[in-house]
Amino acid sequence: MSGNLVEGIYRDLVFGPDGERIFDSGWRSNMIVLTCRVLLAGFMKNEATAHGIQSLKVGRGDSAWDKLAQPPKPDPNLVNQLVDNAGFVIPVAKLKLEYLNPKTDDVSLDVTSRLQITATLGPGQPAAPDPYPLREFGLFGQMNNTEFMIDYIRHPLIEKDSVMTLERKVRLAF
């Protein structure tokens, strides 16, 4: 990640019930959407009701994407919600947010321009259906009681069953 733009990457790890890693997506780019920039402008203007990351949502997306080599890329200027708006929500209290050293990717106790967000969907999450088809996710903030999407990713189908654990890491560089 470099340059003057907000950038993001993500990595999905899926573990079986015995803790054995059964899937690793590797680090992949995600899309920073226009509403992230609106939210950042609200912070800079000192909007009293602007709040950073409030949740990570995962969704089923569109099953038609499974017929394609890669899901279609949405327009980052138009997207502000998941296709599956009834997806599973992980509130910020259940997320792990850490600063990263810009040179080494190690966790930093000091404030830096890089942030790592870790979400864990443990056994039984989401509860139904089983397996739960995952095809999309997004980070969300809030300003003036309105949700603002920060980043968005569509990915190939992950079928998470009730005994698996999915660990999703998102890294943002500002």
Paired sense of beta strands 21-24 and 31-32, if any: unpaired
pTM of the prediction? 0.91
Q: What percentage of the chain has pLDDT greater than the value 70? A: 98
1 band by pLDDT with thresholds 50, 70 and 90: very low
123 contacts 162 by C-beta, under 8 angstroms: yes
Domain boundaries, the chain: 7-173
List the end-to-end C-alpha distance of the chain, in Å, as a whole number: 9
* Plot region of 36 (φ>0 → left; ψ -120 to 50 → alpha; else → beta): alpha
83 contacts 62 by C-beta, under 8 angstroms: yes
- 93's CB contacts (< 8 A; 6+ apart) are none
Beta bridge partners of 169: 11, 118
- 39's CB contacts (< 8 A; 6+ apart) are 50, 52, 141, 143, 148, 150
The pLDDT tens digits for 91-149 are 999 999 999 999 999 999 999 999 999 999 999 999 888 899 999 999 999 988 899 99
Task: At 34, list the tokens.
Answer: 């226009």
> In 3-state terms, what secondary structure has residue 130?
coil
3 band by pLDDT with thresholds 50, 70 and 90: low
How far, in Å, CA of 41 to CA of 63, rounded?
35
- 100's CB contacts (< 8 A; 6+ apart) are 106, 107, 108, 112, 114, 115, 116, 171
Phi/psi of residue 65, nearest 5 degrees? -65, -25
